[in-house]
Amino acid sequence: MDGEGETRRAWPGAALRGVTAPAAEESGGGPAADKRAVRPAGHRVGSGSTMSTGGPSHAAAAAQDARPDRAAIALAYQRFEPRAYLLNNYTPPRGDLSNPDGVGPWKLRCLAQTFATGEVSGRTLIDIGSGPTVYQLLSACAHFEDITMTDFLEVNRQELGLWLRGEPGCFDWSVYSRHVCLIEGKGESWQERENQLRAKVKRVLPIDVHQPQPLGAGSLAPLPADALVSTFCLEAVSPDFASFQRALDHITTLLRPGGHLLLIGALEESWYLAGEARLVVVPIREEEVRRALACSGYEVRDLRTYTMPARLRTGVDDVCGIFFAWAQKKVGA
């Protein structure tokens, strides 16, 4: 569910094999899913059975019990259809970038403006829960030399591999690439930007954001990273806010002190569709995003929100809005 229903990705497993980009290593480590970040083997997504069932009231306990656990979420993601998800969120109307008030232009503008500050740069960047999308890295690739993409689902890693290798039938991101080149105004062509991104992505790995070592032991990704990007992942693979918080804590271990996190996610969304899959999302609010970042040891540098207009509420999710957060990991955190 792209802020609309951005892809959820974030829970690969060590048993899943990574998709490699051209001239990149292959890995069996584990990633996420643009809303996919669950480990299938009996682990609960974020809370679920790992959470206490006690509560202030029977009603609250019943509501908690009604939420699926991590194992159930992981199982549901096995029905995730990348192309259906892409069609729902990255083709018109949500994928129409001609209207500056649309969700796509808003996300791309947030990313471009943040990278334009020059503060978010370095050698290594990890995209947490890439899902089947690449738009989130079109501005980033000019500022980093080594990019790692991740996802829980093998089908999403395969979809990424098609685009990274430029194979026939891969999803066409040229509308997004053109828009990024336009708003950045550097005079480069969209083909140059896409080639640059392909060259900078060195590996596509599995990930499980619900594990203390999300990429597993002995990860091929250089750690700690100088920056993290994550779009529509953590809230889409967590059964409750406590699980969301722990997942954020886990991915923060991959980031160096002083490094930057760019986080995009859904506000007050409880479900989204990806083909036959109807996937649950933990509804979160802006103030909860701020609190979670503070608890994980970040200084919030910027936090913006977008309200989903009625014309973009197309029935593929119940998202109310999107947030963009730029946060910097405190030294000593």
Which residues neighbour 46 within 8 Å (Cβ) at sequence distance 6 or greater? 70, 210, 237, 238, 239, 240, 242, 243, 244, 246, 247, 282
CB 318 within 8 A of CB 283: no
pLDDT in tens, 250-298: 999 999 999 999 999 999 999 999 999 999 999 999 999 999 999 999 9
CB 7 within 8 A of CB 273: no
Considering the entire predicted model, what is its pTM?
Answer: 0.82
How far apart CA 62 and CA 64 sit, in angstroms, is 5
Q: Is pLDDT of 27 > 90?
A: no
* Residue 72 confidence (pLDDT): 87
Q: Is pLDDT of 230 > 60?
A: yes
Q: Is pLDDT of 171 > 80?
A: yes
Q: Can you tell me the mean pLDDT for 154-169?
A: 97
CB 38 within 8 A of CB 22: no
Identify the bridge partners of residue 225 per DSSP, sorted by sequence position.
Answer: 255
Q: Concatenated DSSP letters for 202-236? A: EEEE---TTSSSTT-TT-SS-SSEEEEEEES-GGG
How far apart CA 276 and CA 196 sit, in angstroms, is 35
Which residues neighbour 142 within 8 Å (Cβ) at sequence distance 6 or greater? 115, 193, 196
Q: Which domains does the chain have, with CATH numbers?
A: 74-329 (3.40.50.150)
CB 261 within 8 A of CB 140: no
CB 22 within 8 A of CB 49: no
CB 14 within 8 A of CB 29: yes
| Helix, coil or strand: residue 265 | strand
**Which segment of 37-41, 117-121, 137-141, 189-193 scores lowest on mean pLDDT?**
37-41
Peptide bond into 93 cis (omega under 30): yes
* Residue 304 confidence (pLDDT): 98
Tell me which residue of 293, 291, 286 sits closest to 320, measured CA to CA. Answer: 286
CB 64 within 8 A of CB 260: no
- CA distances (Å), origin 78, targets 39, 48, 107, 257, 319: 11, 19, 28, 35, 22
Please provide the average confidence, as pLDDT, over all residues in the chain: 84
pLDDT in tens, 84-121: 999 999 999 999 999 999 999 999 999 999 999 999 99
Residue 70 exposed, middle or buried by CB count within 10 Å (0-12, 13-18, 19+) = buried
How far apart CA 93 and CA 104 sit, in angstroms, is 10
